[in-house]
Amino acid sequence: MKFAVIVFPGSNCDVDMYHAIKDELGEEVEYVWHDDDSLDEFDGILLPGGFSYGDYLRSGAIARFSKVMQEVIKAAEAGKPVLGICNGFQILLEAGLLPGAMRRNESLSFICKPVELKVENSATMFSAEYEEGQTITIPVAHGEGNYYCDAETLANLKANNQIVFTYTQNVNGSLEDIAGIMNERGNVLGMMPHPERAVDTLLGSADGLKIFQSIVKTWREAHVVKA
């Protein structure tokens, strides 16, 4: 499986993501600059964390207009897995690939620490390697991770089982403790915690690696050539 790590001006977790895929997962991966105009050669798309375009206007508000985002949208519409982490999640929200919006943390301060998440839905291409209800430890590092949506959107998220991860202790004020959601089709996931920073026990936790393993497993099962 071949992954693209999208790099925007201000991305700072792209190297972490590349390491997670190449060295820990053992899959093919390439950096893709924000003004590239094709993602056709890639099987999975990864939007890393950071401060794209300095977070001017709003987090992700400018990055969503980058040339490559039309290709990200095209990949999502084609059913390819698209994962946005932290700033990548914010960009997916701004681009309309996921519903809702991000507000500043309830504390109005930057939060950077390991947190516990609950796996709310293990029947997805991003969480298949987890058990339903499992608690995992993954770090957060954000100032605008307070997820919000209106009542109708929240009802739809719940009805369609689109809430994939929640915080066991709400660190930022997110509505319903939401830490990660997917689209209705199930191939686009956005999450504020950083699984790429939890892929080896030397980092304090390897719980994040299963997200990437889930993507590969699901993709291979869908693309296996039967004799």
> Which residue among the candidates 27, 86, 120, 142 is catalytic per the annotation?
86
**Is 194 in the active site?**
yes
Residue by residue, DSSP assigns the chain as -EEEEEE-TTB-SHHHHHHIIIIII--EEEEEETT----TT-SEEEE--B-GGGG-SSTTTTGGGSHHHHHHHHHHHTT--EEEETHHHHHHHHTTSS-SEEE--TTSS-EEEEEEEEES--SSTTTTTSPTT-EEEEEEEESS-EEE--HHHHHHHHHTT-EEEEESS-SS--GGGEEEEE-TTS-EEEESS-GGG-SBGGGTB-TTHHHHHHHHHHHHHHH----
Amino acid identity at 162:
Q
Q: Exactly one of 27, 94, 120, 196 is catalytic; name it.
A: 196
* Nearest-angstrom CA–CA distance, 29 and 123: 25
Which has the closest alpha carbon to 143: 95, 196, 94, 87? 87
Active-site option among 13, 142, 149, 194: 194
Of 48, 130, 107, 37, whose CA–CA distance to 75 is shortest? 37
Catalytically active residues, by annotation: 86, 194, 196
